[in-house]
């Protein structure tokens, strides 16, 4: 299709049009023979639009990033392409760009975080933003200030982007309604964690070359996991076959509504998987007893070498972190050559750079 459009353009450029403006097909045939490579010769590389130009022309319409459910497949691929470029740039000596020069980003984390907060800070600084990390434990929140009052207070400081993590599902969306800047959800309760799902997708795509058609098995505490929900949204949008594996006590009600195959037997669920993604037990979100013991959980649902052998020989091993070694994953597997857990951390910075760059396009320019 692109080749025909190129030939039509060349006809128009060279004046090979009839009086009615139609393409002279006899001339088109001659031109095709002249322009297209002969068999056995190297193909002519005709770039109609570079990847960078395509990225610049793509219209990312979102002001905020609150949930993966609101992202279409083209939007996800656009963010992954941006992140792919950022990942390559981050391996160079000069990592800085001026995309967010003059902009201010606030990290507002109501829950403990190492990877997410650090990578957002690093991503923003590599894009030349001014970054403020707000320590909630020493803020007025401890004196009884409400989430809305905190939002109004921060909004008065005229930030451009606020990154929020909160223990309550829906809290980040509520805050986004009270401020004038862009808001990024860095995890809200057991609801969503968009940038984690995007970095997982990027890690898979860079390792496997594709996502469509792959079988991804997500195993562990599905009930309390925002990572599982976000990954199911993104992976389904990109054409993967998603499985969730957990004991019945760690599955949500009617789990099939999420669009994934459901297994309560890890041996069956992991069979022939291309990717095995383990989840941390969310002990802090559990009310009551969901498992008899962590030792028994590991016996039936922890990833060890024996269970991993059921997956494909080149299956990737993933974990969003922090890992509980000996609970959901064995050290021998976490440190195995098939593990891409460290790559996930690296891709986290790249994905957050991509999200910040995409949202920056919709920020006021004056």
Rounded to whole angstroms, what are the CA distances from 197 to 126, 190, 204, 291? 22, 14, 11, 26
Q: Is 125 annotated as a binding residue?
A: no
Asked whether residue 295 is marked as a ligand-binding residue, the answer is no
How far are the Cα atoms of 43, 58, 175, 200, 216 from residue 205, in angstroms, in the given order? Answer: 27, 20, 33, 9, 12
Asked whether residue 327 is assigned to any structural domain, the reply reads yes
**Domain housing 217:** 195-282+291-340
262 and 177 in a single domain? The answer is no
Looking at 34-43, 129-138, 191-200, which range is the least confident one?
34-43
Give the bridge partners for 217, in sequence order. 243, 276
What's the domain count of the chain? Answer: 2
**C-alpha angle 175-179-183 in degrees, rounded to nearest 5:** 65
158 annotated as ligand-binding:
no
Is the same domain home to 214 and 320? yes
Q: Are 145 and 88 within one domain?
A: yes
pLDDT at 39 over 80: no
Question: pLDDT tens, 88-117?
Answer: 999 999 999 999 999 999 999 998 888 999
Task: pLDDT band for 50, please (50, 70, 90 cuts).
Answer: low
Question: Does residue 165 have a known ligand-binding role?
Answer: yes
Does 115 count as an annotated binding residue? yes
Indicate whether 333 belongs to any domain.
Answer: yes
97 is in an annotated binding site: no
CA nearest neighbour of 321 among 276, 266, 277 = 277
Give alpha helix (H) positions in the chain: 2-14, 25-35, 51-57, 73-89, 115-126, 147-155, 171-176, 194-208, 226-237, 266-269, 294-301, 305-308, 331-334, 341-360
Regarding whether 232 and 335 lie in a shared domain, the answer is: yes
Find out whether 102 is annotated in a ligand binding site. no
Does the annotation place 280 within a ligand binding site? yes
Residues 221 and 278 in one domain: yes
Based on the domain organization, do 188 and 202 belong to the same domain?
no
pLDDT score of 163: 97
pLDDT band at 287 (very low <50, low <70, confident <90, very high): low
- Which 3 state secondary structure label does DSSP give 9? helix
| 345 pLDDT tier (thresholds 50, 70, 90) | very high
pLDDT digits over 288-339, tens only?
Answer: 567 778 889 899 999 999 999 999 999 999 999 999 899 999 999 999 999 9
């Amino acid at each position: 299709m692109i080749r025909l459009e190129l030939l039509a353009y060349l006809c128009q450029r060279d004046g090979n049009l009839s009086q009615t403006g139609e393409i002279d097909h006899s001339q088109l045939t001659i031109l095709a023979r002249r322009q297209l490579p002969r068999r056995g010769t190297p193909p002519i590389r005709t770039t109609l639009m570079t990847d960078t130009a395509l990225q610049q022309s793509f219209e990312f319409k979102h002001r905020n990033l609150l949930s993966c459910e609101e992202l279409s497949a083209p939007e996800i691929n656009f963010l992954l392409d941006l992140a792919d470029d950022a990942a390559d740039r981050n391996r160079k000596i000069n990592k800085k760009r001026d995309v967010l020069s003059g902009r201010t980003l606030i990290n507002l984390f109501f829950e403990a975080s190492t990877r997410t907060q650090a990578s957002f800070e690093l991503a923003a600084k590599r894009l030349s933003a001014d970054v403020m990390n707000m320590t909630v434990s020493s803020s007025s929140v401890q004196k009884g200030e409400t989430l809305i009052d905190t939002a109004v207070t921060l909004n008065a400081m005229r930030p451009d982007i606020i990154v929020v993590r909160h223990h309550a599902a829906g809290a980040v969306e509520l805050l986004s309604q009270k401020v004038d800047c862009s808001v990024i959800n860095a995890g809200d309760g057991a609801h969503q964690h968009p940038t984690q799902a995007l970095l997982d997708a990027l890690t898979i795509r860079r390792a496997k070359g594709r996502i469509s058609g792959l079988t991804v098995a997500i195993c562990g505490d599905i009930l309390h996991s925002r990572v599982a929900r976000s990954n199911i949204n993104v992976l389904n949008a990109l054409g993967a076959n998603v499985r969730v594996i957990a004991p019945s006590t760690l599955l949500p009600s009617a789990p099939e509504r999420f669009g994934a195959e459901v297994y309560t037997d890890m041996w069956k669920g992991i069979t022939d998987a291309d990717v095995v993604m383990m989840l941390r037990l969310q002990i802090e979100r559990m009310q009551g007893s969901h498992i008899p013991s962590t030792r028994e959980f590991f016996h039936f649902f922890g990833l060890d070498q024996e269970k991993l052998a059921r997956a494909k020989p080149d299956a990737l091993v993933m974990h969003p972190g922090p890992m509980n070694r000996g609970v959901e994953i064995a050290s021998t597997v976490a440190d195995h050559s098939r593990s891409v857990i460290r790559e996930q951390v690296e891709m986290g910075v790249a994905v957050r750079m991509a999200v910040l760059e995409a949202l920056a396009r919709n920020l006021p320019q004056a």
